Amino acid sequence: AGGNNVGLRAAQGEVLVLINADVEVSPDWLAWLVRATQSDPTIGIVGAKLLYPDGTIQFAGGRIDRPRGCSYHLGWHELDRGQWDHFGDVDFVTGASLAITRRALDQIGYEDEKFFPIDYEDPDMSYRARAAGFRVVLAPQAIAIHHESSTTGATSLSRMLSLYAGRLRFVCKHWSADQLLQEFLPAELNFLRTGPLLHSQLSRWACLKMLREL
């Protein structure tokens, strides 16, 4: 988030683009992103469809489930047969490849650097945009290949812990007190009791990690 914010503060223009260093874009990727931002003045953020190098889908839009705030990549690991090639609204897009309008950025602000080192800064930014009245959409014709491991490393316990901590920070930031007490807390406690041992333990560690950082 910190590096992205340095670039966003320095950038000029009405459409700003974020892209990871390990992303390989298609020739018309940028044109599709910009075209989408210009198709409707209420569109604030546009995401690309991300593929793994083997051609399977990494990301075709994101969904946030209540009450636990879990994030999901639509189409994840599916063979890309065009089944997600519909332009439309999503809960969030990933900062590995997105465009944001100047108007939206000026209104919602930069990425929240408290979501460090990674995870949930993208859902957070999209959530803030939608709360401010902007649409967050996927432009599936904007295609990019994400060689993710070269930036984040392979999936590890530390990465998973970061994801859980980010999720907890996200719900504490955006859910109301009533939602936290009446919806999130019972669902989270039930998960801790009945969920897979590794994931429930990671959730406990993430709670402790977040409390130490308050």
Confidence of residue 209 (pLDDT cuts 50, 70, 90): low
Q: Which residue has the tokens 């602000």?
A: 109
Q: What is the mean pLDDT of residues 62-68?
A: 96
Contact 45, 39 (CB under 8 A): no
- Classify domain 2-151 at the CATH class level: alpha beta
What pLDDT score does 32 carry? 98
Question: What is the CB neighbour count within 10 angstroms for residue 95?
Answer: 21
> How confident is the model over 165-207, as pLDDT tens digits?
889 999 999 999 999 999 999 998 898 888 776 667 777 776 7
> How confident is the model over 21-48, as pLDDT tens digits?
999 999 999 999 999 999 999 999 999 9
> How confident is the model over 75-127, as pLDDT tens digits?
999 999 999 999 999 999 999 999 999 999 999 999 999 887 667 999 999 99
77: nearest Cα among 50, 47, 97: 50
Question: Does the pLDDT value for residue 50 go beyond 90?
Answer: yes
Q: Please list the residue range(s) of the chain that carry CATH number 3.90.550.60.
A: 2-151
Calculate ∠ Cα 206-4-124, nearest 5°. 45
